[in-house]
Each structure stands twice: as C-alpha cells, then as structure tokens.
C-alpha cells in the first residue's frame, strides 16, 4: 500500500476552515472552481431550503462512506450500497478518505477518496450526490487536487481522476479528463488577480478546451448510435409482424403504429442536368445558406 505524506494543514470541520499555523488558507471549490463555474450559475434559482436538504443528504452520504472505509461500519444508506458495488466492479482499493492537500501557501482542500486500482495505480475520486453531475466542474476540482497531491507526495503519480455519482439507487463511476497545466495556471492567475475566467475566449481552439468535454461527447454519441440501432431493429420487426398479420394500424396508450405501404417515387437528376445542360442548370439553380454544424467522429 502506498504511503501518503500528511499535510501540516489543519481542518476545522465545524467552521469548515483550513489553517496552516496561524494563517488561514482558502478552500479550492469556493475560490478557484467558483472562479470558472460560479455557484450562482448552477444554483442561483434554487431555493435555500432545497439547497440545505441536498447539502445535508450529501454530508450524510460522505460520512457513511468514510465510516465504512475507516471503521468497517455498513449502514442502510442506499448510496453506500451503490458505492460498494462501484468499488468492487472497478477494482478499487481504499487508501485514504478526506485526505488534505495544499500548496501550503494559499489553498487547501480535502480529497474525498484516494484509491488504487487493480494495477496499483493511484486514482483520486470525488463523491457527488447532486441532481446534475457537472462533469466539467468536477474535472477542474480534481485536476487541482491532482496537482497538489503530486506536489505533496514527490515520487507518487496520479493515474486517473474520477467522479463517483451517487443518488439513491442511481450511480455512476466516471473517469474524467484532467485540465491542461497551462489552463490551471490561468485559473490560479485569474483568482489571484480577481479577474473573470472564460476558457473559450482565453484559449480559442486550444485542444485542452475540447478535452474537457471529450468523454461526454463520445458517450452521448455512442448512446445515440445504440438508440438509433435499437429503434431501427424495433421498426423492422414490428413492420414485419404487422405485414404478416395484415394490420395497417395499431393504436396503443402511448404510440400509434401505422404501416406505410411501399410506393414509387420520382426524383430529379440535377447532377446530370448540370453536366449536359449547364446553361439551363445555371438559369434555374437557387442558392441558399446552410447553417454551420459540427461533425463528430467517435474513435472505436
């Protein structure tokens, strides 16, 4: 098992404040992460009572997982069962909970989970219990933890960062793409100078920008392809059944299925007209502006 260097930073859990001797350090999420992803943007329209209940539930889940890992106590919280299932499925072994990392100058925070995988490589994980999963925000948070962890533990290298999302009986283990070092540098600079941070205007077409959403784009494209394939499979199967039974229309409680009979269609070969009679084609061609779009190709 790996040995971690313990930070000299002391965390006042009741006041939720970090101290290095007599100097108070700032939390990462309330400063650096909030600089890029302002709290008001995600939760500004949510009433305080809803936020309080969500926070209480989140604290309960975090505490249950910590007791499970540190003391072997297994409670009946549904999220704990989901966590144990994820941990076994992903081959993760617990190393530390609420592990404090810091630059020992200005910032400090506690990593929810330090773990190792089946290959013995280090995985930093953050537990989320919110309704929305906010992959991009969590990626930034864990990228900063990644930086501070390796600063604090020379010789140890983080292999992966991941979000463990737990909400009732729903759960997800999602590996996240780390932010580029130069992007992190600019986040720190923006916070130090109290200036806005907009990654799209700052980096333009820098690949680091797209890397933040790469995993989610790929996942959604793959899901869409699977849904489309399943949809076509169902359509062909249902059409064949309706044709065999000579049923032209079925009306259910949620959908209406109508068998459209084969028809002949007539098309116009504009390509041949352009090649054989370019003057006529030019006289009747109509130009329109087509909106730009994004073509996504998922690597297999």
pLDDT in tens, the chain (300 residues): 789 999 999 999 889 899 999 999 999 999 999 998 888 776 767 788 888 888 899 999 999 999 999 888 888 889 999 999 999 999 999 999 999 999 999 999 999 999 999 999 999 999 999 988 888 889 999 999 999 999 999 999 999 999 999 999 999 999 998 888 888 999 999 999 999 887 665 555 455 556 556 666 777 787 788 888 889 999 999 999 999 999 999 999 889 999 998 888 888 888 898 899 988 888 888 877 777 777 777 776
pLDDT at position 300, please?
65
Q: Which residue, chain included where needed, has tokens 């499979």?
A: 233
pLDDT at position 183, please?
86
Q: What is the DSSP letter of 231?
A: H
Q: What does the block give as tokens for 270? A: 């504009």
For the chain, the first-to-last Cα distance in angstroms comes to: 35
For residue 125, what are the contacts with CB-CB under 8 A and spacing of at least 6? 92, 111, 112, 113, 114, 115, 142, 161, 162, 163, 164
Q: Is 156 exposed, middle or buried (0-12, 13-18, 19+ CB in 10 A)?
A: middle
* CA dihedral sign, ordered 72, 75, 80, 85: positive
pTM, two decimals, is 0.68
Could you list the beta-strand ranges (E) of the chain.
10-12, 17-20, 23-27, 93-102, 107-116, 122-128, 158-167, 170-176, 249-251, 256-258
- Kindly list the distances between the CA atom of residue 225 and the CA atoms of 95, 230, 236, 251, 264, in Å, as whole numbers in the listed order: 38, 9, 17, 27, 29
């Amino acid at each position: 098992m790996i040995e971690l260097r313990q930070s000299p930073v002391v965390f006042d859990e009741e006041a939720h404040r970090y101290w290095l001797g007599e100097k108070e350090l700032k939390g990462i999420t309330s400063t650096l992460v909030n600089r890029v992803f302002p709290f008001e943007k995600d939760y500004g329209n949510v009433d305080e009572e809803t936020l309080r209940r969500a926070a209480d539930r989140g604290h309960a889940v975090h505490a249950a997982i910590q007791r499970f890992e540190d003391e072997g106590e297994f409670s009946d919280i549904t999220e704990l069962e989901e966590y144990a299932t994820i941990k076994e499925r992903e081959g993760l072994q617990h190393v530390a909970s609420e592990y404090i990392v810091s630059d020992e100058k200005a910032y400090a925070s506690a990593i929810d989970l330090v773990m190792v995988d089946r290959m013995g490589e280090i995985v930093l994980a953050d537990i989320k219990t919110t309704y929305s999963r906010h992959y991009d925000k969590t990626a930034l948070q864990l990228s900063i933890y990644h930086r501070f962890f390796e600063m604090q533990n020379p010789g140890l290298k983080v292999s992966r960062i991941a979000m463990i999302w737990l909400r009732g009986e729903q759960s997800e283990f999602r590996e996240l793409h780390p932010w580029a070092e130069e992007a992190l540098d600019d986040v720190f600079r923006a916070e130090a100078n109290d200036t806005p941070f907009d990654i799209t205007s700052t980096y333009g077409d820098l690949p680091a920008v797209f890397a933040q959403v790469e995993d989610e784009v790929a996942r959604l494209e793959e899901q869409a392809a699977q849904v489309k394939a399943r949809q076509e499979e169902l359509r062909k199967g249902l059409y064949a059944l309706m044709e065999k039974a000579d049923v032209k229309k079925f009306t259910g409680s949620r959908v209406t299925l109508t068998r459209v009979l084969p028809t002949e269609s007539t098309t116009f070969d504009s390509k041949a007209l352009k090649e054989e009679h370019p003057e006529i084609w030019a006289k009747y061609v109509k130009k329109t502006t087509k909106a730009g779009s994004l073509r996504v190709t998922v690597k297999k």
